[in-house]
Amino acid sequence: MHQVRIPEALGSVLLQPATHDDLPVILRLLERCDLPIDDVPPIVEDFIAARSGDAVIGTVALESFASVGLLRSLAVDADSRKHGLGRSLCEYVLQEARRRAIGSVYLLTTDAVGYFAKLGFHEVDRALAPDAIRETQQFRELCPDSATLMCRHIRQP
Ligand SMILES: CC(C)(COP(=O)(O)OP(=O)(O)OC[C@H]1O[C@@H](n2cnc3c(N)ncnc32)[C@H](O)[C@@H]1OP(=O)(O)O)[C@@H](O)C(=O)NCCC(=O)NCCS
C-alpha cells in the first residue's frame, strides 16, 4: 500500500487495487466520463479503485511494459471532484511505477493537458512514443490521433 494523502473533504477514502467485482462500476464510471472502456476487462488488475464505503468514486490504471508505463482511465465521480482525489490517484500510480522500476510514465489525453502538466507531465511528440506505448490499444485505436501524448520521468531511489 502506498502512502498517498487522501483529501480530508472526502472522509475515509481508500485507494486499493481493483478486483473483478469492481469491473461493472468502473466501466460505468469511465462511460460517464466519456473515457474508452473496450480494452478494460482483460486488464482490470491494472486498475486502482478509490473506495468510499461500498462505492467506487474514482479510478485510474497503470499498464506496465518493462521500463515504461501507461497511466490511463483517470476518472473521479462528478460529486467528488475538486477535492484532490484525481491528484491522489495519480500520485498512487507514480509511486506504483517507482515500485515497479518504471523509468517513464506516459499518458494520452484529449482535454486534460493542463491538468497533467500541473502533475509534472510534459508533452511529447507522438512520433517519439516508445514502441510499447505505440502498441497499446489506447494509442492504436481508442484515443483519437489528436490526443496529446505526455510523459513524466520517474526518479528511482
Ligand atoms: C480530471 C479529473 C480526474 C480530475 O479529478 P479531481 O478529483 O477533480 O482532480 P483534483 O481535485 O486533483 O484537481 C481539480 C482541479 O483540476 C482542474 N481540472 C479538472 N479537469 C481538468 C482538465 N480537463 N483540464 C485542466 N484542469 C482540469 C479543476 O478545474 C480543478 O482546478 P482547481 O483546483 O483550480 O479548482 C476529473 O475531472 C474527471 O474525472 N474528468 C473526466 C475524465 C477525464 O477527463 N480524465 C482525464 C483524462 S484520462
Q: What is the DSSP letter of 36?
A: -
Average pLDDT, the chain: 93
Hey, what amino acid is at 104?
S
Q: Is the CB of 10 under 6 A from ligand 1?
A: no
Ligand 1: does its nearest atom lie under 6 Å from the Cβ of 33?
A: yes
Domains and CATH numbers, the chain: 8-153 (3.40.630.30)
CA 32, distance to chain mean position in Å, is 16
Alpha carbons 27 and 42: distance in angstroms, whole number: 12
Contact call for residues 10 and 37 (beta carbons, < 8 A): no
Q: Is the CB of 82 under 6 A from ligand 1?
A: yes
Prediction pTM value: 0.95
- The pLDDT tens digits of the residues spanning 14-53 come to 999 999 999 999 999 999 999 999 999 889 999 999 999 8
Cα 138 to ligand 1 centroid, rounded to whole Å: 20
Q: What is the residue with the minimal CA distance to atom 34 of ligand 1?
A: 82
51 lines ligand 1 (CB under 6 A): no
Pick from 87, 72, 71: nearest CA to 10 = 87
In tens, the pLDDT along 71-128 reads: 999 999 999 999 999 999 999 999 999 999 999 999 999 999 999 999 999 999 999 9
